[in-house]
């Protein structure tokens, strides 16, 4: 596969790969941008398409920029740093529009202005891989290499907050000194308002010398502005516990517009980008328009990220979530914010429901849906004329499943797709976070 081909890139796909045609066959070119003329070589042939890499950029796009991170191209964490920030957003918005049209057979009456956020230092949640590699001179800590199971040899990460990025070489040195250095596969990062928690996955017990080294590292890297706390995780996520210091500020994030503080454990799901989350919740509330006399359902509610802001304005909110632990945390957060009288929670696997379950749940004025990547097909398919809310706000982390579910709502359940848009939750990656407003036809 060494033949070189000269091609023009027609467009960019949802993963940020350039699309060209060679003898009528689609070729996906890693790192190529729309409008570029590039010299490529085929790296993989499939019956219906080929994959290729760039040998030389003959005519670059004006949207091509020099990546700021020295790890780009080697690290698999980012895929679009070679694209200008504005063009990344335009590409993601087009991905949403194309998915709605081609997968769902629908078009939004209005495309919302994109929620852009900040370009760097946004990632307050992350899972760093760790591996002790003698040939590399010690431990590696970071994201995986691009298209590889190996840990990237990195000393900084520009999408992490600066103080967390600065800890990468510190963690490399620390793990290299531990007696169980070959038994630490990952470090989970959770950055809150006043504390950063690192959850170290220790597959073996620490020695007393290991414990002393960790304490010293924490003491040397805690500041007045941001405390540092180490948790240990000997087995599954449910086994993690605080190691040092035992006492630290509460891990939480804010939704300032609604005067909400959300405490959480580092093992629980929260959005990685608190800046976009703040704007996303605000946009969802603007679209939902909760009123003082309304009863509203929040499906896939998690720890209450949307439930509690809705409760600030609605008469009553019912949050439904599949995990017992998340519902327990959601109830605690409702009480913590003084909203326990306006919120009720239920545990239910929303991937196994039917029309009977939705009907028995009761009639709601409006729904908010925020599913995982698999979407909410079972939920939207179970809507009947009797249970149909007059308005649905759908928050999605996968434009393909949003498009599929939008097709059901519009073509089978009597809704109009009024508005849709993207939120740049993961800058410099191909991940597309989106939001859509559906209204029941009168």
Active site residues: 397
d(Cα 243, Cα 252) in Å, to the nearest integer? 19
| Non-local CB neighbours of 424 within 8 Å, separated by 6+ positions | 88, 89, 92, 114, 115, 116, 117, 276, 433
- Going through 172-277 in order, the beta strands assigned E by DSSP cover 186-191, 195-200, 227-232, 241-244, 252-255, 260-263
d(Cα 391, Cα 73) in Å, to the nearest integer? 43
| Non-local CB neighbours of 232 within 8 Å, separated by 6+ positions | 199, 200, 202, 206, 240, 241, 243
The values of phi and psi at residue 438, to 5°, are -120, 140
Query: What is the bridge-based pairing of β-strands 366-369 and 415-423?
Result: unpaired
Other CB atoms within 10 A of residue 340 CB: 14
Other CB atoms within 10 A of residue 412 CB: 11
Q: Is 125 left (phi over 0), alpha (psi -120 to 50) or beta?
A: beta
Coil vs helix vs strand at 343: strand
- What's the token pair of residue 255? 């939704």
Distances in Å between the Cα of 375 and the Cα atoms of 356, 381, 420 are: 20, 12, 16
d(Cα 157, Cα 392) in Å, to the nearest integer? 38
Q: Which residues pair with 49 in a beta bridge?
A: 26
Q: Is 83 left (phi over 0), alpha (psi -120 to 50) or beta?
A: beta
d(Cα 439, Cα 425) in Å, to the nearest integer? 25
Q: Do 189 and 267 form a contact (C-beta atoms < 8 A)?
A: no
């Amino acid at each position: 596969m060494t033949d070189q081909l000269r091609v023009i890139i027609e467009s960019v796909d949802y993963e940020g790969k350039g699309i060209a045609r060679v003898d009528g066959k689609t070729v996906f070119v890693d790192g190529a941008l729309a409008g570029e003329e590039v010299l490529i070589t085929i790296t993989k042939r499939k019956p219906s398409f080929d994959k290729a890499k760039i040998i030389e950029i003959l005519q670059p796009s004006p949207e091509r920029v020099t990546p700021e991170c020295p790890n780009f191209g080697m690290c698999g964490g980012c895929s679009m740093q070679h694209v200008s920030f504005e063009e990344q957003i335009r590409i993601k918005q087009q991905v949403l529009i194309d998915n709605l049209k081609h997968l769902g057979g629908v078009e939004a009456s209005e495309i919302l202005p994109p929620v852009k956020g900040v370009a760097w230092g946004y990632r307050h949640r992350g899972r760093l891989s760790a591996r002790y590699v003698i040939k590399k001179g010690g431990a590696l800590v970071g994201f995986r290499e691009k298209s590889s199971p190996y840990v990237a040899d990195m000393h900084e990460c520009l999408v992490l907050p600066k103080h967390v990025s600065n800890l990468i070489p510190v963690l490399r040195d620390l793990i290299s000194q531990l007696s169980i250095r070959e038994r630490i596969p990952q470090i989970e990062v959770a950055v809150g308002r006043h504390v950063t928690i690192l959850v170290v996955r220790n597959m073996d017990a620490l020695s007393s010398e290991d414990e002393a080294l960790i304490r010293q590292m924490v003491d040397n890297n805690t500041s007045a502005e941001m405390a540092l706390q180490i948790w240990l995780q000997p087995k599954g996520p449910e086994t993690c516990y605080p190691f040092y210091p035992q006492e630290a500020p509460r891990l939480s994030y804010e939704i300032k517009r609604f005067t909400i503080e959300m405490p959480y454990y580092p093992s629980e799901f929260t959005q990685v980008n608190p800046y976009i989350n703040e704007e996303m919740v605000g946009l969802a509330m603007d679209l939902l328009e909760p009123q003082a006399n309304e009863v509203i359902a929040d499906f896939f509610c998690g720890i209450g990220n949307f439930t509690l802001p809705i409760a600030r304005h609605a008469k009553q909110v019912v949050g439904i979530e599949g995990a017992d632990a998340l519902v327990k945390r959601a109830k605690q957060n409702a009480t913590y914010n003084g909203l326990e009288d306006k919120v009720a929670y239920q545990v239910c696997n929303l991937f196994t429901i039917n029309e009977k379950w939705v009907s028995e749940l009761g009639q709601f004025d409006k729904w908010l849906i925020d599913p995982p990547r698999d979407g909410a097909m079972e939920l939207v398919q179970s809507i009947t004329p009797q249970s149909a809310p007059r308005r649905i706000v759908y928050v999605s982390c996968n434009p393909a499943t949003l498009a599929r579910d939008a097709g059901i709502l519009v073509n089978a359940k009597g809704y109009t797709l009024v508005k849709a848009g993207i939120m740049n939750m993961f800058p410099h990656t191909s991940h597309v976070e989106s939001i859509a407003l559906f209204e029941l036809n009168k």
